[in-house]
């Protein structure tokens, strides 16, 4: 893993973002929610300056501060969703692969239904049903994206099952559960982790799309909300590239680093290959 230049770059970007998130209060020059004033008037649409490295928004908020705090929302959504997807996918893939039989059939059936639901429409409807926000994004990602992980884990478990040391464990009387969770699971975890880093990216893109359509969490400061804010206030029409471009770039970088870290990303994006 160390030798891969792509993975190294990806890891580096991740580190930067994590630092941004952890040390946001120290790094951000202003409170991202504060409506800044110029005398009596609101400090709207200020251009790039030494006081505001990325200028201000239509509502008088500092863009750079929002960008830095946005890392928190991104990591929160990304990590939570990724963990959920990986947990569910790995667990179900493990069960389906190892136990086989009706368990396998049942899980595959449910996976088919999950794959039959269109992603964005489902998220929209769920958001309208409950409250729009990051929770809905995370739940949707978890509910609809686990099948891919499960498939790959399942096929790996299938091949692991026939290995000699598993046979040995069975013979010496280890319970099925013990074999699954203590012996097989650690073997598939690296693959699961790779999926996790891709899932982070999907989650962030989902959150951005949800925010753009007006179904995001309106109270959070995420990059997706920043883009929606800019769009609604016609930032492009004003040529406020300083407002509109950084959040988009931030999303690209973060999602990209997820792809880079998972070498062999092509296989993960298309799991049927792994089944050959």
Partner 1 sequence: MKRLCLSVTFAVLSAAASAQEPGDAIRPITLLTQPQAAAPQEYQAAEVIADAWRKLGLTVNVRPLPGQQFNQVIWYERQRWDATTWQMVGRPERSDPDELTYNLFVSANAANGYDFVGYKNAEYDKLAQEQREELDLDKRKALIMQAQELINHDQPYGFEVHPFNVVAYNKTIWDPKSMISQAGIGIRSTWTWLNITPLGTQKDVILNSVAPPTNLNPFNISGQQGSWAAEIVWDRLMRVDPEGLPKPWAAEKVERPDATTVNVTLRKGMKWSDGQPVTIEDAVFSLVAPGYGDKAPMYKPFVGNIAGVEATGPDTLTIKLKKPDAAFLVSSLSKLNLAPKHVWQPIFDDLKNKPQTAESIMEEHPVSSGPFRIIKASLNQEIVLEANPDHWSHPKIHRWIMRIMPNVEASMGALKSGELNFLADYTGDPELLKDLAKSSPNIEVSQALDIGFKFIAYNERRPPFDNLAFRQAISAVIDRKLLAEDAWGGAAEPANSWISPALGVWHAKGIVDRVPGGNVAAAQKILKDAGFVLVGNVLHYPKGEKETTEPFH
Partner 2 sequence: MLWAVATLTFLLFRLMPGDPTLNFLSPTFTDETRTALLKSFGLDKPLWQQYLIYLGQLLRGDFGRSFLQQAPVADVLLAALPNTVILTLVSLCIAYAFGIIAGAFLAFRRGALVEATAIPAALATRAAPEFWLGMLVLALFAFQLGWFPTGGAVSPGGSLGSLGTRLTSADFWWHLCLPALTLTLFLQGLPLLLMRATMLEVMNDEFIVMARMKGLSRWSIVMRHAARNALLPVVTAFALGLGASIGGNVVIETVFAWPGIGRVLVQAVQGADYPVAQGAFIMIAFVLVIMNTVADLAYAWLDPRVSVGAHR
Residues that bind partner 2 (CB under 8 A): 5-6, 9, 112-113, 115-122, 124-126, 128-129, 201, 205, 208-209, 212-214, 224, 227, 231, 236-237, 244, 248, 251-256, 258-260, 264-267, 269-270, 272-273, 276
Q: How far is the CB of 67 from partner 2 (least distance, A)?
A: 14
Q: What is the dihedral of CA 173, 176, 177, 181, to 10 degrees?
A: 90
- Partner touching 232 among partner 2, partner 1, none, CB below 5 to 8 Å by kind: partner 1
In the bound state with partner 2, the residue whose beta carbon lies nearer, of 43 and 81, is 81
C-alpha atoms less than 13 angstroms from C-alpha of 213 in its C-beta half-sphere:
16
Q: How far is the CB of 242 from partner 1 (least distance, A)?
A: 17
Rg (CA), the chain: 22
- Partner touching 173 among partner 2, partner 1, none, CB below 5 to 8 Å by kind: none
Q: How far is the CB of 213 from partner 1 (least distance, A)?
A: 9
Partnered with residue 42 across adjacent β-strands are 37
Q: Which helix (H) or strand (E) holds 83?
A: helix 63-99
- Partner touching 12 among partner 2, partner 1, none, CB below 5 to 8 Å by kind: none
In the bound state with partner 2, the residue whose beta carbon lies nearer, of 68 and 227, is 227
In the bound state with partner 1, the residue whose beta carbon lies nearer, of 29 and 218, is 218
Sequence-distant (6+) residues with CB within 8 A of 113 are: none
Residue 173 buriedness (CB in 10 A; 0-12 / 13-18 / 19+): exposed
Whole-angstrom distance, CA of residue 54 vs CA of residue 63: 6
Q: How far is the CB of 242 from partner 2 (least distance, A)?
A: 14
Q: How far is the CB of 181 from partner 2 (least distance, A)?
A: 31
Q: How far is the CB of 274 from partner 2 (least distance, A)?
A: 11
Whole-angstrom distance, CA of residue 211 vs CA of residue 103: 38
| CB burial string 96-112: b at 16+ within 10 A, e below | bbbeeeeebeebeeebe
- Partner touching 163 among partner 1, partner 2, none, CB below 5 to 8 Å by kind: none
**Which chain residues interact with partner 1 by CB under 8 A?**
35, 40-42, 44, 58-59, 128, 131-132, 214-215, 218-219, 228-229, 231-234, 236-238
In the bound state with partner 2, the residue whose beta carbon lies nearer, of 148 and 180, is 148
In the bound state with partner 1, the residue whose beta carbon lies nearer, of 240 and 260, is 240
- Asked if residues 66 and 29 have their Cβ atoms less than 8 Å apart, the reply is no
In the bound state with partner 2, the residue whose beta carbon lies nearer, of 10 and 166, is 10
- Asked if residues 33 and 221 have their Cβ atoms less than 8 Å apart, the reply is yes
Whole-angstrom distance, CA of residue 3 vs CA of residue 1: 5
- Partner touching 28 among partner 1, partner 2, none, CB below 5 to 8 Å by kind: none
C-alpha atoms less than 13 angstroms from C-alpha of 72 in its C-beta half-sphere:
14
Q: How far is the CB of 48 from partner 1 (least distance, A)?
A: 20
In the bound state with partner 1, the residue whose beta carbon lies nearer, of 59 and 100, is 59
Which residue is associated with the tokens 């299938």? 158
Whole-angstrom distance, CA of residue 171 vs CA of residue 167: 6
């Amino acid at each position: 893993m160390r030798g891969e230049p792509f993975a190294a770059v990806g890891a580096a970007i991740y580190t930067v973002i994590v630092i941004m998130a952890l040390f946001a209060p120290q790094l951000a020059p202003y409170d991202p929610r504060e409506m800044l004033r110029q005398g009596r008037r609101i400090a709207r649409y200020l251009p790039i300056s030494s006081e505001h490295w990325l200028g201000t928004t239509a509502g008088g908020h500092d863009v750079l501060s929002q960008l830095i705090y946005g890392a928190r929302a991104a990591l929160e959504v990304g990590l939570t969703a990724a963990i959920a997807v990986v947990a569910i996918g790995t667990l179900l893939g493990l069960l389906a692969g190892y136990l086989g039989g009706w368990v396998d059939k049942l899980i595959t059936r449910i996976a088919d239904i999950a794959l039959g639901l269109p992603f964005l429409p489902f998220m929209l409807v769920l958001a309208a049903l409950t409250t729009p926000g990051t929770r809905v994004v995370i739940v949707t990602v978890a509910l609809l994206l686990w099948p891919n992980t499960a498939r790959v884990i399942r096929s790996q478990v299938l091949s692991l099952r026939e290995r000699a040391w598993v046979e040995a464990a069975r013979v010496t009387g280890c319970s099925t559960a013990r074999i699954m969770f203590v012996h097989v699971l650690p073997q598939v975890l690296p693959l699961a982790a790779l999926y996790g880093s891709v899932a982070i990216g999907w989650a962030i893109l989902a959150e951005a799309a949800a925010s753009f359509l007006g179904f995001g969490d309106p109270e959070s400061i995420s990059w997706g909300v920043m883009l929606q804010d800019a769009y609604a206030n016609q930032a492009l029409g004003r040529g406020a590239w300083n407002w509109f471009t950084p959040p988009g770039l931030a999303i690209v970088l973060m999602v990209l680093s997820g792809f880079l870290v998972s070498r062999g990303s092509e296989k993960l994006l298309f799991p049927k290959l792994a089944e050959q």
